[in-house]
Structure 1
Amino acid sequence: MIKAIVFDLDDTLYPQEVPFTKAIKKVFPQLIKEELTDFFKFFRTISDELYEQTKQKNGITKSEMTTLRLTKAIEESFDLQVTEPLIASFESEYNRQLNQIRLSDSLKEVLQKLAKKYKLGIVTNGYTQRQELKIEVLKVRDIISPENILISEKIGIEKPDRRIFDQMAKVLVCEPRELLYIGDNYKNDIVGAKRAGWHAWWFNHHQRRILEEIIEIPDKEIRHFGKLAEELSLLVE
């Protein structure tokens, strides 16, 4: 029986594409009429790859990652040159847009209902300061206890390492079989949770494909933002 539900943050509790797209179109008005979903996915892929390099010995710095991810994504996708002032403008505008993210009304309502029946938590990869900002803006601490929120940089472990899931299980005082994790990243969220013995829902709203060599199967796959609140509401009926 499920006793606790834990969520990923980015692209699960809010659509990360929205603030990203607004920032890109503000800084690069040439792209104002472009449909940028595929570009956003490409940017996320590059960003994830460069993030891995920041953790390697003699790897790149956070500042270099910030510069390289936008430069590579823009120059490989569009015939545009990226300068340092444009990078600074994008980061500034992206942070401004992140300050405006909100839980959808339907998700906020269902989370409030879930909190009456289940323990709730968040496990997110990322830099502490940035993730704390998003958590604050989304006002999820009004629903989820702060001690039930784990940020990878803060605790020194990140998904898909099962130790971060094990630590959350201890925080929630639950057995793995009593825990459900919901996230959009197959490797970090689904593989990590399933290998830790949890139930896992794949919030695959970008409709990505599973790599053939990975065999962990999610307990449920949800493909649209509107369906997430709907599926969660079934847990409180």
Structure 2
Amino acid sequence: MSQLNPKFIYFDLDDTLLDHKKAEQAGLQDVHEHFDMFDGIPEQQLLDTYHHINKGLWEEYGRGEIDRHELHRRRFQETFRDLGVDEQMHEEAGKVYMRYYRNHWEWIDGAYESYNKITQNFEVGIMTNGFAETQWLKIDQFKLKETARHIVISEEVGEMKPHPKVFDHATELTGVDREDILYVGDSFTSDVVGGSKANWKVAWFTKAPVDEGYKLAHLIFDDFTDLLKALNIK
């Protein structure tokens, strides 16, 4: 395993440090149980329909074709329309979902211990997509401001990863050369491609790497102990 010797390490937040997918699924399961209108509709059908629609909307949002308010409205409105339930309930469902979603936030397995060891040896920061108020709630709940020297939330920058503007801004904050920054993230497009185009080193957290990732990432891992080894941390 090659050794990494960065001067600064940025971490992605969702599905790198915190288990967004697990929290999202649990929140949607709670929504399914909360509303009587889902009687007769399988839980998995709600999850699959929501994920399909939400993924497309985030892609539109990332291209600047819709704003955050339209994304919020349409993800449940169009899900309910496809499921044949009252789409007028979308606003209430969105509020209920966010309440449940927050109840299920937790660290990715192994991330808490490894992150804390890394912060004792390196300067670190957080760089994340997502809506600012939600990401700040996570950052506050998990006390990440105590350890992260810089926190970059794409919405506050005005673009989403992998846009170069986000990486340029994050680079300037560190005061170190691009080649001395390591980015730890789970998304191939947002993190691996974005980080490599910014001339950062990239550690890709994934259980299903694609071939192109081997060319772009300096480390591919699915166990945080491997990241510690690459950073020469015991």
- Normalised by the length of structure 2, the TM-score is 0.79
1:55-86 per-position Cα deviation (integer Å, ceiling 9, x unaligned)? 34xxx44332112223445655xx44252324
Counterpart in 2 of 1:14? 18
Given the superposition, is the C-alpha separation of residues 122 and 88 from structure 1 closer, same or farther in structure 2, using an over 3 Å criterion?
same
Question: Offset of 1:197 from its aligned partner?
Answer: 0.6
**Percent of aligned pairs sharing the same letter:** 24
In structure 2, which of residues 213, 227, 231 is the aligned counterpart of residue 232 of structure 1? 227
How many residue pairs were aligned? Answer: 222
* Alpha-carbon spacing, 1:25–1:6, altered in 2? closer, same or farther (3 Å): same
1:12 to partner: Cα distance: 1.5
The answer (yes or no) to whether the contact 1:46–1:69 under 8 Å persists in 2 is no
Is this contact kept in 1: 2:12–2:186, CA < 8 A?
yes
Aligned pair in 2 of structure 1 residues 153, 208: CA closer, same or farther (>3 Å)? same
The aligned counterpart of 1:51 is 61
Deviation at residue 18 of structure 1 after TM alignment: 1.9
The counterpart of 1:194, out of the listed 188, 193, 196, is 196
**Contact map agreement 2:72 2:94 (CA 8 A) in 1:** no
Output the amino acid matched with 1:220: L
Does the 8 Å CA contact 1:25/1:32 hold for their aligned counterparts? no
Per-residue CA deviation, residues 193-226 of structure 1 (Å, 9 max, x unaligned), is: 1011111122234x3757x8x996222333x4xx
Q: Which residue of 2 is the match for residue 64 of structure 1?
A: 70
Q: 2: CA distance between counterparts of 1:38 and 1:136? A: 30
- Mapped partners of 2:67, 2:139: distance in 1: 24
* Cα pair distance change 1:98/1:80, threshold 3 Å: same
- Which residues of 2 match residues 59-208 of structure 1 at below 5 A? 60-73=66-79, 79-104=83-108, 106-145=110-149, 148-205=150-207, 207=208
CA distance, structure 1, for counterparts of residue 164 and residue 53 of structure 2? 27
Cα root mean square deviation, aligned: 3.0
* 2:76–2:87 contact (8 Å) kept in structure 1: no
Query: 1:96-154: CA deviations, max 9, x gaps?
Result: 42254133573222212111211101111232222211211222122213xx1011222
> Normalising by structure 1, what TM-score?
0.78
Superimposed CA distance per residue, residues 168-213 of structure 1 (whole angstroms, 9 cap, x where no aligned partner): 22222221111111122222211111011111122234x3757x8x
Contact 1:50 1:69 in 2 (8 A): no
SS at match of 1:181: strand
Task: Name the stretch that deviates more: 190-199 or 79-88.
Answer: 79-88
